[in-house]
Structure 1
Amino acid sequence: MKTISRATPLLIALLSSSFVSMAYAEVNTPLEAFEQLSPSALEKLRNANIDVNQLLANDANDLIVTFNKDRYAVDNSQNTGKNVATRKYKLVKQQVSSQLKDTQILRDYYGSPMSFYRVNSKKDLVKLLNDADVESIQPNINVEPTLQQSLPFIRQPQTANTYVQTGQGRYFFKGKGSVVAILDTGLDATRSAFGSCNIGSASCSVVGTYEFAQEANGQGDGQLDDDPSKHGTNVSGIALGVAPEAKLVSLDVFNWQVDNRGQRQLLAPSYAIQGALNWIYNNHITRNGNGLNVVSLNMSLGGGANKTATNDLALLGDLKNMGVASVVATGNEYYTDAIAWPASEINAIAVGAVHDTTNQSARVYCGRDYNNQDKFNYGYRVDDVTCFSNSSNLLDILAPGYDITAAGITMSGTSQATPHMAGAYAVMRAPTVIDRTQDSVDDTTRRFKQNGVSVRDSRNGIVRPRLDLYATLMSIAQS
């Protein structure tokens, strides 16, 4: 199956051709097909940003079709709500499909005005595009999950394929025996990225989910992930991608609050953050024989613009003494002389974001400046610090944080860089590694910094290491 190109202009010569009304007599060549396309069909192609020349040249095309459901009336005396909509979708889909002889329905999105077609002839393609019941089309684009870029970028695959021989057999460096605590919006453990999840079972990567931020009614919200965009789920998937044999515990510290403009916002109150840290402290294996071996905690959250170190979370120091690395995002306000709290805490590892690919024509949103104006960056290269990443002398380390896909969700930010580091700590502080090195949290951090790739932030000249997990692991053999 050939790929359909996007963002390619139509040929001027073809656009100047006149539309010929025909009964779809013979459609054997791209030109014959084009001459039978209606103006509305061409508009659908323009709106989908599809190169019509390549589309018509292909022997077959995979297309996601959205139908015009409003063209069909349904007697709703016996049905209401969704059932009526579903019946209307079914009617219009049947009408369109009945005209197509060389087209396969690869997937029907039941209850939705969409279907996924493989159109195997130019004649069917013309019919489909001309059909007034077809509202729009989209090409089927195979998008490579960016986690598959970020993991090789930090050399995680080489790390995961390295092993030592132990009394129990081969041990691969995938974080086995470690637990990462994710302080975020929650975790949708039903997603396949986390295994077959009866939480706490061997087949599930999630050992527990707990809520620390009460809603206005004094109760938890009962949501697996408070954020409609699934921020906590994405963050959790990244950490697990780096340390696939580690376990996760989700500590939901966010709730919905109304700001002074009457807008609902998803925020993490400090009482919830303190509560989650206290939970880790009390349930750590060093204090509770039946507790969890939490080796890192991830806080992809924060606010403010701190230019000096803070010391408001004393528990971070206690947790560090217990062997827990507190990994925190620096924030996305593109400050070049400050970072957010709690990344500014003296016992936090502050993580900024870099690009893991090169794209000289991309348009990257950088946030808003002090005048509330949107700012953009045009083009980036591998190991460029992202334009939105907060940076200052308080920054510790960098990791990939642009267009990161995990658990089926794609996001960008220092929020995505941070779990790469939290997962890296899970690998480097797993029991088999610690038994050999006796490294403290500070020792592990020093390894990451000494073995990272040196990156200079062009905005302020600050040089910091970017995570190289394999080089860090190899440093053990030399110690």
Structure 2
Amino acid sequence: RHRFATSSVFSANATQEALMRILMDPEVEEVTMVGEAQPHLSESTGLITASDSWDLQVNGVYVKGEGHSVCVLDTGVNYSHANLGGCSTADFLAGDCSKVPYGYDFYSTDTDPMDTDGHGTHVAGTIASDHATYRGVAPEAKIIAMRVCAATCPWDDLADAIEECTAQSANYNITVITMSLGSDATFCNAATCASALDSTVTSAIEAAEDAGIFLDASTGNDADTSGIAAPACHADVVSVGAVYDYDGPYLCWGGGSCPGANTCDDPESNVEVDKVICITNRCSLLDVMAPGYAIHSTEHGIFKTRGGTSMAAPHVAGAAVLLQHYALIQQGRRLTPAQIKDLLVDNGDSVTRGSLTKPRVNVYASIQAASASEIQLTDYTAPQVGAAGETYSFNVTYADADNDTPETLKAYVDGSLDDLSEADSNDNDFTDGKNYYFETTLSSWGLRKYMFNASIYFNTQQTDFFNGPFIVSASDCDAGATPPYEDDWHVSSAVTCQNSGFVASTLGYLNISNTLTLDSAQVYVNQSLMSFQGLDAQLVLDDGVLVFP
């Protein structure tokens, strides 16, 4: 069935006789059965403020997801829907479908990922429908259709699809993978989840995240209040629960008689905007909430209302696309998956059910928070003078009013840009400033310049360039002379200092009563008095430079 790029595993259909031969092969480490998962607009896009984000314009471009693609791992996508490209099968197979430019059917092992269920098409429309009223969260994004589910979603199909999304990420600018599916078993510990999840899926997820792709998944619809489904429970996947996006009547979930024999019932008092839907699997491991009912999105040639955490996950996928699009047009770069998660979690609107409070995604607030981060670099210091071969420390204080950790913090010294280190790893308060330093050895003589640079999300702060330190090659000087780091240097006899710097300290005096010759050298005078005593006193610079900073 599949051979995986991220692990030394393959899957196959085997007769009992073939299975016995495999089990007896000494080169085979382990044989396990392929596990399975289950397949888990207009008001909702407004609730998460996606429609406000569409009005943002940067360099003449609106923030709607243009140029970005989302891999939808589901029951396939009906690319013939008018609001998902309106393409024929022939157009799709020829690569001529602009809205859904690529896909594959891993479940049936063919090149046509046409949706025969409707679930995956609904998810795709929630992300990127271009309908005038029922627009997706990122209406100008593209969809990569990966069919991994029918009645069930085999783990090996899922793993192969994730690997293919990663492999095709550069070709289609795939920045997000979304999975509205999950296991029957639930977990509330990421390590336990990772060990229980099929190893091929784990390896594929981790490789995708390493490649800079944001992954999210629905938590499941079993009303479990002590765990969430896999792969949503994996540490590299953002888990998504569901809230209502409207006020409605008593609602029953689960298909039984109403009220009563259902998974759960929500009374009218709970069927309100931003109330957590009772079927949402949830525990402390859950990351964010998003609208999950009543979501009106694309199906087979029509629009249909569905509900559940499967409808919530694509909202988060679309939100991630909008953040990436804004980063690209604002700064010409991509956010990391961890940065996207932090922005969505830290800037969501709090929703509560029982004792659990979690953020419901707010796209516009997340974009604004990233743009408004106030970086300050202060108290920058470096030695002013020193000898060659010594270790020098360059110091700066970083502060951010929102208490955000710097994405990058670097020192530019002597033509090299290097990372700064924390002075105190236990200090996690950036609001009042945190100290950082960079240490290096400087060997060649002369005046150095340095500066500091910090960045977070869409913002960059840089100091001016400063002079210092001035490096003196004392070993090249006459043994009887000591470079004046602290006190005066009185030259009473002829002294030659080759290929070095001659430094008068801030407090000292440079008194020359005879001849001082500096071959290819610099004389650095910093707020010092340089005097020539006697008519015969001379300062000779052979190809040297006199510097007054």
TM-score class, shorter-chain normalisation, is 0.5 to 0.7
In the superposition, relative to structure 1, how do residues 201 and 152 fare at CA in structure 2: closer, same or farther (>3 Å)?
A: farther
What secondary structure is seen at the aligned counterpart in 2 of 1:429?
helix
Amino acid at match of 2:158: I
Q: When you count strand as a share of all residues, which structure comes out higher?
A: 2
How far 1:438 moved relative to its partner?
A: 4.9
For 1:271, the equivalent position in structure 2 comes to 156
For 2:305, the equivalent position in structure 1 comes to 410
For 1:185, the equivalent position in structure 2 comes to 75
Amino acid at match of 1:457: R
For 2:45, the equivalent position in structure 1 comes to 151
What secondary structure is seen at the aligned counterpart in 2 of 1:296?
strand
How far 1:366 moved relative to its partner?
A: 5.0
For 1:350, the equivalent position in structure 2 comes to 239
Q: Is the 8 A contact 2:77 2:124 kept in 1?
A: yes
In the superposition, relative to structure 1, how do residues 455 and 181 fare at CA in structure 2: closer, same or farther (>3 Å)?
A: same
Q: Is the 8 A contact 1:367 1:388 kept in 2?
A: no
Q: Is the 8 A contact 2:222 2:263 kept in 1?
A: no
How many Å separate the matches in 1 of 2:101 and 2:54?
22
In terms of Rg, which structure is larger?
Answer: 2
1:322 to 211, 214, 218: 211
1:238 to 111, 117, 126: 126
The aligned runs of 1:135-150 (5 Å cut-off) are 147-150=41-44
How many Å separate the matches in 1 of 2:120 and 2:368?
31
In the superposition, relative to structure 1, how do residues 428 and 422 fare at CA in structure 2: closer, same or farther (>3 Å)?
A: same
Deviations 1:87-118 (A, max 9, x none): xxxxxxxxxxxxxxxxxxxxxxxxxxxxxxxx
How many Å separate the matches in 1 of 2:264 and 2:206?
37
2:361 counterpart of 1:476: no
List runs of 5+ in structure 1 lacking aligned partners.
1-146, 256-265, 286-290
In the superposition, relative to structure 1, how do residues 374 and 478 fare at CA in structure 2: closer, same or farther (>3 Å)?
A: closer
For 1:307, the equivalent position in structure 2 comes to 188
In the superposition, relative to structure 1, how do residues 377 and 179 fare at CA in structure 2: closer, same or farther (>3 Å)?
A: same
How far 1:317 moved relative to its partner?
A: 1.9
How far 1:372 moved relative to its partner?
A: 7.2
For 2:173, the equivalent position in structure 1 comes to 293
2:252 counterpart of 1:364: yes
Amino acid at match of 2:348: G
Deviations 1:410-437 (A, max 9, x none): 2101000000001111111126257456
Q: Is the 8 A contact 2:76 2:120 kept in 1?
A: yes
2:318 counterpart of 1:423: yes
How far 1:330 moved relative to its partner?
A: 0.1
In the superposition, relative to structure 1, how do residues 292 and 149 fare at CA in structure 2: closer, same or farther (>3 Å)?
A: same
How far 1:441 moved relative to its partner?
A: 1.0
Amino acid at match of 2:187: N
Moved more, 423-432 or 170-179: 423-432
Identity %: 29
Q: Is the 8 A contact 2:328 2:334 kept in 1?
A: no
In the superposition, relative to structure 1, how do residues 281 and 203 fare at CA in structure 2: closer, same or farther (>3 Å)?
A: closer
How many Å separate the matches in 1 of 2:119 and 2:218?
13
Deviations 1:258-305 (A, max 9, x none): xxxxxxxx01101100110111122221xxxxx221111110001222
For 2:382, the equivalent position in structure 1 comes to none
How many Å separate the matches in 2 of 1:210 and 1:316?
18
The aligned runs of 1:97-108 (5 Å cut-off) are none
How far 1:476 moved relative to its partner?
A: 2.8
For 1:103, the equivalent position in structure 2 comes to none
Q: When you count helix as a share of all residues, which structure comes out higher?
A: 1
Deviations 1:31-51 (A, max 9, x none): xxxxxxxxxxxxxxxxxxxxx
Q: Is the 8 A contact 1:296 1:422 kept in 2?
A: yes
What secondary structure is seen at the aligned counterpart in 2 of 1:410?
strand
For 1:134, the equivalent position in structure 2 comes to none
Deviations 1:328-385 (A, max 9, x none): 00000000111111111111100000011122x332325789x975532221121110
Deviations 1:211-253 (A, max 9, x none): 1113xxxx559671131xx000000000111111111100000
In the superposition, relative to structure 1, how do residues 225 and 302 fare at CA in structure 2: closer, same or farther (>3 Å)?
A: same
What secondary structure is seen at the aligned counterpart in 2 of 1:426?
helix
For 2:284, the equivalent position in structure 1 comes to 393
How many Å separate the matches in 2 of 1:185 and 1:347?
23
Q: Is the 8 A contact 1:363 1:377 kept in 2?
A: yes
For 1:162, the equivalent position in structure 2 comes to 56
How far 1:194 moved relative to its partner?
A: 1.1
In the superposition, relative to structure 1, how do residues 365 and 161 fare at CA in structure 2: closer, same or farther (>3 Å)?
A: same
Deviations 1:195-223 (A, max 9, x none): 34343878731111211113xxxx55967
2:178 counterpart of 1:284: no
How many Å separate the matches in 1 of 2:316 and 2:266?
25
**TM-score, normalized by length of structure 2?**
0.53
Deviations 1:165-185 (A, max 9, x none): 2xxxx1111111211000000
Q: Is the 8 A contact 2:254 2:262 kept in 1?
A: no
How many Å separate the matches in 2 of 1:333 and 1:298?
20
In the superposition, relative to structure 1, how do residues 341 and 247 fare at CA in structure 2: closer, same or farther (>3 Å)?
A: same
Q: Is the 8 A contact 1:298 1:326 kept in 2?
A: yes
How many Å separate the matches in 1 of 2:140 and 2:96?
11
How many Å separate the matches in 1 of 2:176 and 2:82?
23
Q: Is the 8 A contact 1:366 1:377 kept in 2?
A: no
For 1:457, the equivalent position in structure 2 comes to 353
What secondary structure is seen at the aligned counterpart in 2 of 1:206?
coil
How many Å separate the matches in 2 of 1:363 and 1:247?
34
What secondary structure is seen at the aligned counterpart in 1 of 2:278?
coil
How many Å separate the matches in 2 of 1:362 and 1:426?
34
**TM-score, normalized by length of structure 1?**
0.60
The aligned runs of 1:65-144 (5 Å cut-off) are none
For 2:463, the equivalent position in structure 1 comes to none
What secondary structure is seen at the aligned counterpart in 1 of 2:317?
helix
What secondary structure is seen at the aligned counterpart in 2 of 1:390?
coil
Deviations 1:302-323 (A, max 9, x none): 1222232222412222211211
2:128 counterpart of 1:254: no
In the superposition, relative to structure 1, how do residues 221 and 398 fare at CA in structure 2: closer, same or farther (>3 Å)?
A: same
How many Å separate the matches in 2 of 1:445 and 1:210?
28
What secondary structure is seen at the aligned counterpart in 1 of 2:140?
coil
2:114 counterpart of 1:224: yes
Aligned residues: 304
Deviations 1:19-71 (A, max 9, x none): xxxxxxxxxxxxxxxxxxxxxxxxxxxxxxxxxxxxxxxxxxxxxxxxxxxxx
For 1:44, the equivalent position in structure 2 comes to none
For 1:83, the equivalent position in structure 2 comes to none
Amino acid at match of 1:315: A
